[in-house]
């Protein structure tokens, strides 16, 4: 028998679909329900490697953690990784299958993937009591509806009830709810069960007349009003918000353990990927993390991080154009700490040979670390485990660049020269013992009287966040009604709201 299901759609991108999906998943698993997340198609540069070596969106990996299960490729069968304004790498079932323009993808390739997507969803529903699906953008993108496989396309084919989330903090939420329904075909509208208001500030009683009018206009109820809460960020699909940074910045109860703070500057390079790597730094009391794009902003930094990128050569050119490259070379010569992660590691090397990603051929790197990089067509997707600074480290690798080391001190399959460190390993800073040891080295090199907290557990902080999301659903949504939706589908006889989708 197939398990229940629900599609969490949104009035816009960043309406809160990922947060709501994770919250529903955590609420369900706390009720003893076997639940899994699903997103048919994700567009993101923040990805993760599953234990079987498949690349999926980090949001789905986080949602799997909310479900207390291991993430798999079934949970995100299609991942699009932008390589510029008009092209993306298509990752199918965790493996890259080529680059494609948006026109080419929406012109036929996307529709052809519907069978694969439905098979994955059916397999999950066969294994779990419930599958909570996340949509993408808005379901009312009328120009893309014909080839849609992530919003109403998947809802129609799998007969999923749809909950539409709106961010009231942006304003216009009533118009957005009404307009979303009114731009769908009668068949699609029949699956839209109702609404969920996200990020509400103030007295809910003041909102209730509007919710009653919305019900009168659409025949659909509102399943909950979630209050605005600070520090609830999770692994973002894209953008420059990082999940735990906000929590640390707002915390007045976690001052530095030592006498000084530690300032971390992250270079905001183009096509930045897996910037969530620095979340673990921001989780440490007394560590201040900020993104920078000017050389003068490196001056007072105790540590500079060059993060991963989907465009190593483009990022290198950007660093040179802005004067950041020269500042980084000077910084390395002065023995001031730099950490390069994945693409950032490659940038710090002597030479890059790229006929795959940028197709620029031979390019000189910054020459700070003794390595040469050659881009291979096959992507490295692994979950390495090792040791550094006397501590056990776990990470994951996602890269086409193959590093040939010609010197330096070994460091997580990369190398270290003086106070410049480089590795392909994402997620290494989430290993608590290693992170503390690394920060002690940075503080010593920077001359800061900073002391890492002895008890900061990144995994525990993540669990706290997921529980807070579950609490939001449990305390502010009609969970009985939500469960009826998941188990039985959309209510029968929902009215059609004109004009409907264009012919």
Residue 350 · residue 371 · CB < 8 Å: yes
In order of 183, 220, 310, the CA distances from 92 in angstroms are 30, 36, 17
Nearest to 169 by CA among 117, 227, 246, 102: 227
The residues facing 306 across adjacent strands are 340
Place of tokens 């706290």: 464
Q: Which two tokens stand for residue 415?
A: 């190398």
Q: Which of 267, 342, 400, 424 is catalytic?
A: 342
Strand ranges of the sheet holding 397-405, from the earlier edge strand across to the other edge: 361-364, 351-354, 371-382, 397-405
In order of 11, 14, 197, 231, the CA distances from 172 in angstroms are 10, 15, 11, 24
Cα-trace Rg, the chain: 23
Is 133 catalytic? The answer is no
Q: Which of 399, 400, 424, 426 is catalytic?
A: 426
- 3-state secondary structure at position 82: strand
Task: Give first-to-last CA distance, the chain, whole Å.
Answer: 36
Is 426 catalytic? The answer is yes
If phi > 0 it is left, if psi is from -120 to 50 it is alpha, else beta; for residue 408 that is left
- 3-state secondary structure at position 133: strand
Which sequence positions are flagged as catalytic? 342, 426
């Amino acid at each position: 028998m197939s398990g229940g299901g629900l599609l969490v759609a949104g009035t816009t991108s960043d309406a809160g679909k990922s947060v709501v999906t994770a919250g529903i998943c955590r609420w369900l698993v706390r009720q003893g329900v076997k639940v899994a997340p699903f997103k048919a198609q994700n567009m993101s540069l923040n990805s993760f490697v599953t234990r079987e070596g498949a690349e999926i969106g980090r949001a789905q990996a986080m949602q799997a953690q909310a479900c207390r299960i291991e993430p798999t490729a079934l949970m995100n069968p299609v991942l699009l990784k932008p390589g510029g304004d008009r092209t993306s790498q298509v990752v199918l079932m965790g493996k890259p299958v080529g680059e494609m323009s948006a026109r080419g993808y929406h012109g036929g390739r996307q529709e052809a993937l519907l069978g694969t997507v439905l098979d994955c969803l059916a397999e999950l529903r066969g294994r779990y009591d419930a599958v909570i699906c996340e949509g993408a953008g808005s379901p009312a993108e009328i120009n893309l509806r014909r080839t849609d496989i992530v919003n109403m396309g998947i809802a129609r084919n799998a007969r999923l009830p749809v909950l539409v989330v709106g961010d009231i903090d942006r304003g216009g939420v009533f118009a957005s709810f009404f307009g979303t329904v009114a731009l769908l075909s009668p068949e699609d509208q029949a699956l839209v069960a109702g609404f969920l208001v996200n990020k509400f500030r103030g007295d809910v009683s003041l909102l209730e007349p509007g919710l009653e009018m919305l019900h009168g206009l659409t025949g659909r109820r509102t399943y909950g009003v979630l209050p605005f809460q600070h520090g609830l960020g999770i692994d973002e699909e894209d953008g420059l918000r990082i999940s735990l940074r906000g929590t640390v910045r707002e915390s007045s109860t976690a001052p530095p353990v030592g006498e000084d703070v530690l300032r971390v500057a992250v270079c905001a390079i183009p096509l930045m990927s897996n910037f969530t790597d620095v979340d673990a730094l921001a989780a440490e009391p007394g560590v201040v993390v900020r993104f920078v794009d000017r050389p003068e902003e490196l001056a007072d930094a105790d540590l500079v991080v060059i993060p991963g990128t989907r465009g190593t050569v483009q990022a290198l050119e950007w660093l040179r154009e802005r004067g950041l490259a020269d500042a980084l070379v000077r910084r390395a010569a002065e023995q001031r700490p730099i950490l390069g992660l994945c693409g950032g590691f490659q940038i710090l090397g002597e030479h890059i040979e790229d006929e795959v990603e940028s197709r620029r051929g031979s390019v000189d790197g910054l020459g700070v670390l003794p390595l040469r990089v050659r881009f291979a067509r096959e992507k490295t997707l692994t979950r390495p485990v090792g040791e550094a600074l006397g501590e056990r480290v776990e990470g994951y690798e996602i890269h086409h660049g193959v590093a040939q080391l010609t010197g330096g001190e070994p460091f997580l399959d990369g190398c270290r020269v003086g106070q410049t460190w480089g590795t392909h390993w994402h997620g290494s800073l989430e290993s608590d013992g290693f992170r503390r040891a690394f920060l002690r080295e940075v503080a010593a090199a920077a001359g800061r009287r900073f002391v890492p907290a002895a008890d900061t557990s990144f995994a525990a902080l993540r669990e706290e966040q997921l529980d807070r999301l579950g609490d939001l659903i449990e305390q502010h949504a009609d969970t009985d009604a939500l469960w009826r939706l998941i188990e039985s589908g959309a209510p029968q006889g929902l009215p059609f709201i004109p004009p409907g989708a264009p012919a």
